[in-house]
Amino acid sequence: MTDVIATNETILVVGGGISGMTAALEASETGKQVVLVEKNPTVGGRVSQLYKYFPKLCFPTCGMEINLKRSRQNNNLTVLTLAEVTAVSGKAGDYSVTVKMTPRFVNSNCTACGECGKAVEAEFSDEHNYEFMGAKRKGAYLPHNMAYPQRYVIDPRIIGTADADKAKAACKFDAVDLEQKEETIELKVGAIVYATGWRPYDANKIQPYGYDRIANVITSVEFERMADPNGPTGGKLVRPSDGKEAKNVAFIQCAGSRDRNHLKHCSRICCMASLKQTTYVQDAFGADANISVYYIDIRAIDRFEDFYKKVQAQDNVTFIKSKVANIVEDKDGNAVCRGVDTEGYTRYENPHDLVVLAIGMEPSVNFNNLGIDVVANEHGFLEPDEANGGIFAAGVASDALDVNRSVQSATAAALRAIQVVNRVGGTEA
Amino acid sequence: MSDLNTAMVEKYRSNFLKEVEANVEEGDWVKMCMQCGVCSGSCPLGNAWEHPPQEIFMMIRAGKRDEVLSSSSMWMCTSCYNCIVRCPRELPITHIMHGLAHYAKRLGLSPKEQPTAKFAQLFWDNLSKDGRVNELKLGLALYFMNGFGEGIKTSLKMKDIGLGMVKTKRMNVMEILGGHSVKDKSGFHAMLKKAAEIEEAKIQK
């Protein structure tokens, strides 16, 4: 049984990505009781699936480590993984929340030695790698190297098979517990911070770009996994069709964003993400790289302008002001971008080894289906509205934001939640 | 140059965008174009256009009145609707192209030797006479559109198809002598006259 003590002076944070962790840590470090609920087996969210951050090109694992250290030093924070909020009711200062806890089948004895993973034979699509290029993981697995808690997970699909018993037999620490059951817990909380983040827009819906039928058309999140040494290609930039080096790479901006047929809003991260990804191609192939960026306009605002200027100054990067009309495949498997550029109105038909769609971000939770009335805007993001009472959005639950702005938003959300529980506790008028 | 054209030049001076917004069907959408170019890239006849739609929109905003209205470009549109489907701002591009062509024609600025414009005139003359399209006459008019010699040549080339159509009763040679019409021909003409009056009143406004 999971013992979680929560009162109406407790703050609940839903979602353990960079925003949720930040909101939870900021609030708990002020002395407030915080419960962080994450539906995946590990915290870290989409940031843990990135290879590098922009603009400093440092590794997300570094910031992640700092956050984990902060959370371990903090007695006011309870982290629940494999936990999902299923119902919310009540009002500011007095919410009741139902949380469904999915079994991990591994208890806290786990040392992440990996013996169970070796013993198990069944393999499943690897969510951490966006199932890209057929990426697989075992039925007993650590989601990724930086997973927290640093504990293996037994996939529920192997429960009841011989594999489950193999995993149990392989464990020297008696950490595999196949008897764990799903449970539901009720929490009383005073304020709720939704840090539920985003998911990549479904590239199959952008029909003219052929994501569903051209092997060498991929999305920006997949390219991020490809560049990562822990990714499905071991960090090699290749064409998924034939495994050859992908030196001629095109980036298509606004793939699904700023488009009334898809997402109306600007997803804000994609321009900088593509500019960052051009450096991956540069790092891999140097002067042999040939990079094209197709754009409507580059939105590298304020201090990011320098980064844009640096990429622009590279001889082997071409910026083409044009929204690509469609992509076809030629006989060599190249993805051929077709369109008309706005500077000169010339028609082009350019073959590329690899085309990366800078895919838009949409909220991962439908806030109109929460079970409690909250105000969401036309793009599906949670609005900062007084009618939401003690419910606040952090990070991409509030708007399309990059990591930097998500963290700012999360700190702001933490402060608003603290004000609500202070009112409940009577320390604030 | 028609009187109407002179009047419009006088009325809007150098603001061609305003003129388009006020007089061209769906013209008030022009300012919404963000120059992404997906319309031009998606046009199956794009190669044949002097100025793709995206450029036309920019030319309107830049006040290139004569270049736009005398252009053959908007007459190239085949109404495939690819551009409307893909436009990220949902501009009714096909309709704007037809609106521009129509406006240019009304002002007497459309290119004289443009085949689509010529065909449209032949079709209208044929239809507005009896209220029915006389396919035999329209076909022949098309053959002779570019001169007598070419007309004879095309007719000879198509004669087997024509004879085949007569044999299978797909074409009636008697149609050449007037042909069939709507039942109430005078009513039809009254209707066209009224429509022309309504349009005229709209232009005067």
Q: Do residues B104 and B135 share a domain?
A: no
pLDDT at position A1 over 70 = no
pLDDT value at position A428? 59
Give me the pLDDT at residue B147, please.
Answer: 87
pLDDT over 90, % of chain A: 94
- Taking the Cβ of residue A260 and every Cβ of chain B, the question of whether any pair is shorter than 8 Å is answered with yes
Task: Kindly state the DSSP code that residue A260 receives in the 8-state scheme.
Answer: T
Gap between the terminal Cα atoms of chain B: 21
Q: Which CATH number fits domain A202-360: 3.50.50.60, 3.20.20.70, 3.40.50.10140, 3.90.700.10?
A: 3.50.50.60
Same domain, B101 and B146: no
Cβ separation of B37 and A260 shorter than 8 Å? no
Q: Judge whether B38 is closer than 8 Å to chain A, CB to CB.
A: yes
- According to DSSP, residue A80 is labeled E
Residue A347 near chain B (CB below 8 Å) = yes
> For position B172, what pLDDT does the model report?
87
Cβ of B41 and A254 within 8 Å?
no
Chain mean position to CA A339: 32
What ipTM is given for this predicted complex? 0.87
Residue A381 DSSP label? P
* Contact at CB, A323 and B88, closer than 8 angstroms: yes
| Minimal C-alpha gap between A333 and chain B (Å) | 21
Q: Does B52 touch chain A (CB under 8 A)?
A: yes
Q: Are residues B123 and B172 in the same domain?
A: yes
Last residue of one domain, picked from the residues B69, B95, B111: B111
**Do B56 and B146 lie in a common domain?**
no
The verdict on B143 and B175 lying in the same domain is: yes
Interchain CB contact of A293 with B (< 8 Å): no
**pLDDT beyond 80 at A94:** yes
Q: Is A132 exposed, middle or buried (0-12, 13-18, 19+ CB in 10 A)?
A: buried
Cα B158-B162-B167 angle, rounded to 5 deg:
150
CA distance A118 to A101: 26
Most confident of A34-43, A297-306, B113-122, B123-132: A34-43
Question: DSSP letter at B109?
Answer: -
| CB nearest A340 (choices: B46, B86, B90) | B46
Domain count for chain B, please give it. Answer: 2
Domain membership of residue B10 as a residue range: 3-111
Contacts of A296 in chain B (CB under 8 A): 34-36
* pLDDT value for A427: 64
Q: Say whether both B69 and B149 belong to one domain.
A: no
Q: Do domains A10-102+182-197+364-425 and A202-360 have the same CATH topology?
A: yes
Distant-in-sequence, close-in-space partners of A117: CB < 8 Å, separation ≥ 6: A138, A140, A141, A142, A152
Give residue for tokens 């002002």.
Answer: B107
Inform me whether the C-beta atom of residue A345 falls under 8 Å from chain B C-beta atoms. Answer: yes
Q: Give the closest of B54, B88, B89 to A340, CB-based.
A: B54
Q: What is the pLDDT of residues A118-146, one digit of tens each?
A: 999 999 999 999 999 999 999 999 999 99
Q: Give the list of residues 6+ apart from residue B196 with CB closer than 8 angstroms, or none.
A: none
Q: What is the pLDDT of residues A189-227, one digit of tens each?
A: 999 999 999 999 999 999 999 999 999 999 999 999 999
B34, B52, B86 ranked by CB distance to A340: nearest: B52
Distance in angstroms between the alpha carbons of the first and the last residue of chain A: 38
Q: What is the mean pLDDT of residues A340-347?
A: 93
> Which residue has 């639950």 as its token pair?
A397
Residues B119 and B168 in one domain: yes
A77 pLDDT tier (thresholds 50, 70, 90): very high
Using CA atoms of B139, B140, B141, B147 in order, give the dihedral in degrees to the nearest 10. Answer: 130
Domain boundaries, chain A: 10-102+182-197+364-425, 115-170, 202-360
Phi and psi, residue A145, nearest 5°: -60, -35
- pLDDT tens, per residue, chain B with 205 residues: 588 888 888 899 889 999 999 999 999 999 999 999 999 999 999 888 999 999 999 999 999 999 999 999 999 999 999 999 999 999 999 999 999 999 999 999 999 889 999 999 999 999 999 999 998 999 889 899 888 999 999 999 999 998 999 999 888 888 888 788 899 999 999 999 999 999 888 877 7
Using the Cβ of B51 and the Cβ atoms of chain A, whether some distance falls under 8 Å is answered with yes
At B205 the three-state DSSP class reads coil
Please give the residue of chain B at the shortest CA–CA distance from A208.
B86
Give the residue from chain B lying closest to A348, CA to CA: B41
Buried b (16+ CB within 10 A) or exposed e, B38-77: bbbbbbeebeebebbbbbbbbbbeebbbeebbebbbbbbb
Contact B42 A322 (CB under 8 A): no
Nearest to B37 among A261, A262, A341 (CB): A341
Question: Are A347 and B47 a contacting pair at CB < 8 A?
Answer: yes
Chain B, residues 84-103, CB within 8 A of chain A, namely 85-86, 88-90
Cβ distance A345 to B55 less than 8 Å, yes or no, reads: yes
- In DSSP terms, A392 is beta-bridged to A193
Query: Across A229-359, where does the E strand assignment appear?
Result: 248-255, 290-295, 317-321, 326-329, 335-340, 347-352, 354-359
How big is the A-B interface in CB pairs under 8 Å?
A: 63
The residue of chain B with its CA nearest to that of A259 is: B88
Locate the chain A residue with the closest alpha carbon to B84: A261
Compute the Cα dihedral for A21, A22, A25, A28 and give only its sign. negative
Quote the Cα angle for B114-B115-B118, to 5°: 90
Residue A2 banded pLDDT, cuts 50, 70, 90? low
Q: Can you tell me whether residue A19 is helix, strand or coil?
A: helix
Alpha helices in A161-269 (DSSP H): 162-170, 220-227
Do B102 and B86 share a structural domain? yes
CATH of the domain at B105: 1.10.1060.10
Where is the domain boundary, B87, B111, B135?
B111
Give the three-state DSSP class for A303: helix
CB contact under 8 A, A296 and B42: no
B90 interaction partners in chain A (CB closer than 8 Å): 260-261
Average pLDDT over residues A54-65: 92
Tell the CATH topology of A10-102+182-197+364-425.
FAD/NAD(P)-binding domain (3.50.50)
Q: Residue A282: which pLDDT band, with cuts at 50, 70 and 90?
A: very high
Average pLDDT over residues A235-244: 97
Please enumerate in sequence order all residues whose Cβ is within 8 A of that of B79, keeping only pairs 6 or more positions apart, or say none: B94, B98
Q: Would you place residue A337 in the very low, low, confident or very high pLDDT band (cuts 50, 70, 90)?
A: very high
- Whether chain B has a CB inside 8 Å of the CB on A298: the answer is no
A340 touches chain B (CB under 8 A): yes
